[in-house]
């Protein structure tokens, strides 16, 4: 599956959030209206504003990327650019060259994965209908990395091969290197014990938002400058 090339289009700004489908009741005699979420836990949305496109190569690469989306029909993996991960020692790792200081032939460097984590027990997709206020729980073992504190993104790949992103809400308990956490959104499928949990490069399978994908084609301003933005929604 294609992956959104964030290294080609670093953002001027971006944000991730979990969207839902709340139902709002009528106005009661006293107090605010009641509300309920019928979205089964919600879905990820990513809004990405790319840096300015100036060169021919930048414009061509952006157009080629939009073509792979096929007007929002095709799914891609979208990485979450984030630094609030449980990095060992609390330090974001930097890519490293060879021992003699030289990079690879394409000028790339070694990419390390310092955080090693997995599910310490099977985790299950909730049976719906279920209370939308009750997030999924999981037991996560971190054998290399800092302790979880809440707010961290991670991704898992289920039996279907789809990569899904989640966020730790709260750490409910910790025993040794295993933390029991609540998370959003809920798991999309049942997960087996030992499934790898990726905190190093969390990402989500998404599609271009059909309602706004036309806006991703940049308006060109002289001299051939574009400031594109795009909205992704989680693919199902």
Whole-number mean pLDDT of the chain? 85
In whole angstroms, give the CA distance from residue 8 to residue 57.
10
At 214 the three-state DSSP class reads helix
Using CA atoms, how far apart are residues 163 and 157, in angstroms rounded to an integer?
Answer: 4
Kindly state the average pLDDT of the residues 108-122. Answer: 79
Which has the closest alpha carbon to 72: 216, 218, 228? Answer: 216
Q: How far apart are CA 50 and CA 67, in angstroms?
A: 17
The answer on pLDDT for 201 being more than 90 is yes
Query: Domains in the chain, please, with CATH?
Result: 1-81+204-236 (3.30.200.190), 83-99+109-201 (2.40.30)
* Region 76-98 average pLDDT: 79
In this predicted structure, what is the pLDDT of residue 218?
87
pLDDT of residue 104 exceeding 80: no
Q: What is the pLDDT of residue 107?
A: 47
The residue-averaged pLDDT of 147-166 equals 95
| pLDDT value, residue 164 | 96
> Given a cut of 80, is residue 223 above it in pLDDT?
yes
What is the arithmetic mean of pLDDT over 40-59? 89
Strand residue runs (E) in the chain: 11-19, 22-24, 35-37, 43-50, 76-79, 116-119, 136-144, 153-157, 163-175, 178-184, 203-208, 229-234
Q: For 3-12, 67-76, 113-122, 138-147, which range has the lowest pLDDT when averaged over its residues?
A: 3-12
Greater confidence, 113 or 71?
71
Range in 3-17, 44-58, 131-145 with the lowest mean pLDDT = 131-145
Question: 132: which DSSP letter?
Answer: T
Q: What is the spatial distance between Cα 177 and Cα 123, in angstroms, rounded to a whole number?
A: 17
Is the pLDDT confidence value at 109 over 50?
no
Give the distance between the most distant pair of CA atoms in the chain: 75
What confidence score (pLDDT) does residue 39 get? 53
Provide mean pLDDT across the span 178-187. Answer: 94
The pLDDT assigned to 150 comes to 96
- 90: its two tokens: 């609390």
12 pLDDT exceeds 80? yes
pLDDT tier, 191 (very low <50, low <70, confident <90, very high otherwise): very high
pTM over 0.85: no
pLDDT in the model for residue 62 = 94
């Amino acid at each position: 599956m294609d992956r959104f090339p964030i290294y080609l289009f670093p953002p001027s700004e971006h944000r991730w959030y979990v969207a839902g489908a709340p139902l709002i009741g009528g106005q009661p005699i006293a107090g605010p209206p009641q509300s309920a979420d019928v979205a089964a836990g919600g879905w990820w949305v990513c809004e990405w504003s790319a840096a300015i496109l100036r060169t021919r190569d930048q414009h061509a690469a952006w157009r080629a990327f939009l073509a792979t989306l096929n007007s929002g029909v095709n799914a891609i993996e979208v990485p979450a650019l984030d630094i609030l991960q449980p990095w060992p020692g609390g330090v974001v790792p930097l890519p490293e060259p060879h021992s003699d200081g030289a990079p690879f032939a394409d000028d790339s460097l070694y990419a390390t994965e310092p955080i090693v984590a997995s599910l310490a027990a099977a985790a299950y997709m909730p049976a719906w209908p279920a209370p939308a206020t009750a997030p999924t729980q999981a037991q996560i073992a971190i054998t290399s990395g800092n302790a979880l504190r809440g707010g961290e993104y991670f991704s898992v790949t289920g039996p279907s091969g789809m990569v899904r992103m989640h966020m730790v809400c709260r750490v409910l308990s910790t025993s040794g290197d295993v933390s029991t956490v609540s998370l959003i959104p809920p798991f999309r499928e049942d997960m087996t014990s030992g499934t790898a949990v990726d905190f190093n490069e969390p990402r989500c399978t998404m599609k271009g938002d059909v309602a706004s994908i036309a806006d991703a084609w940049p308006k060109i301003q002289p001299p051939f400058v574009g400031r594109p933005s795009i909205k992704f929604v989680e693919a199902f």
